[in-house]
Chains A and B, each alone.
Chain A
Amino acid sequence: DQQVKQNSPSLSVQEGRISILNCDYTNSMFDYFLWYKKYPAEGPTFLISISSIKDKNEDGRFTVFLNKSAKHLSLHIVPSQPGDSAVYFCAASAGGSARQLTFGSGTQLTVLP
């Protein structure tokens, strides 16, 4: 039973346009959410995070939105650049001392020049 789901395995976007990556979760105990970016042959790198007490967090071109009632979060990238092409994972944590991450299956984003 996947507690964090990324239902779109791939997404293609034109350079300069907005990329929207979605993530749904089922565990209401999750209180901290993160997005990671992964290039081939490299480990995931942290991109942006949001606490459950917020509904939006912005960092440059990247914005994460959290809708707790829908158990849904999304990552917006504006404007999209070819260098953004990578696999994006969303992850969640239930907090407490056992702060392990539960990851989604990832979405391959391709930004077309």
Chain B
Amino acid sequence: KAGVTQTPRYLIKTRGQQVTLSCSPISGHRSVSWYQQTPGQGLQFLFEYFSETQRNKGNFPGRFSGRQFSNSRSEMNVSTLELGDSALYLCASSLVPSGALNEQFFGPGTRLTVL
């Protein structure tokens, strides 16, 4: 079956703009988590959605938000972009949030560059 898909794969924005990234989980998966990967920081957890509800949130400012739709697709939005928001944004899907952590599958990511 198809894996986790993320669109767009690459994005260039300027400071102050806002951006929306999309993630389609594996068919049947209902939980989506978002991570930010920056050099030297590894992957940092942003938030997790399940059944259209945010279940968990990492330590990021309110400029970062997300939502999940009834078909389990998820979007994340970053408003008032800053240079430091340049990163690879990864989403991961799993059947349910309480499932085994090794059953979390990652998408290829969206590379965001803020100029």
B101 contacts which chain A residues (CB < 8 A)? Answer: 32, 34, 49, 91, 93, 99, 101
B72 within 8 A of A: no
In-complex Cβ contact of A105 among B41, B45, B103, B107 (8 A)? B41
Least CB separation from A96: chain B residue: B98
B33 within 8 A of A: yes
Please list 29 pairs of residues, one from A and one from B, whose beta carbons are closer than 8 Å in the complex, sorted by A's number. A2-B41, A2-B42, A9-B40, A32-B101, A34-B101, A41-B108, A42-B108, A43-B4, A43-B105, A43-B107, A44-B43, A44-B106, A46-B102, A46-B103, A46-B104, A89-B42, A93-B101, A98-B55, A98-B56, A99-B97, A99-B101, A100-B45, A100-B48, A101-B43, A101-B101, A102-B45, A103-B42, A103-B44, A105-B41
A100 contacts which chain B residues (CB < 8 A)? Answer: 33, 45, 48, 56, 58
A101 to B45 CA separation, bound complex (whole angstroms) = 7
Could you tell me which residues of chain B, from 45 to 94, have a CB within 8 Å of some CB in chain A? 45, 48, 55-56, 58, 90, 92
A57 to B59 CA separation, bound complex (whole angstroms) = 32
Query: With A4-B42, A43-B4, A100-B48 as given contacts, are A49 and B106 in contact (CB-CB < 8 Å)?
Result: no
Give me the interface of A with B, judged by CB distance under 8 Å. Answer: 2, 4, 6, 9, 32, 34, 36, 41-46, 49, 89, 91, 93, 97-106
The distance from the CB of A78 to the nearest CB of chain B, in whole angstroms, is: 21
Least CB separation from A48: chain B residue: B102
Interface centre among A2, A43, A106 (most CB of B within 10 A): A43
Given contacts A105-B40, A105-B41, 15 further A-B contacts (CB under 8 A): A6-B42, A34-B101, A34-B102, A42-B108, A43-B105, A45-B105, A46-B103, A89-B42, A93-B101, A97-B97, A98-B55, A101-B43, A103-B35, A103-B42, A103-B43
A106 to B37 CA separation, bound complex (whole angstroms) = 10
B25 within 8 A of A: no
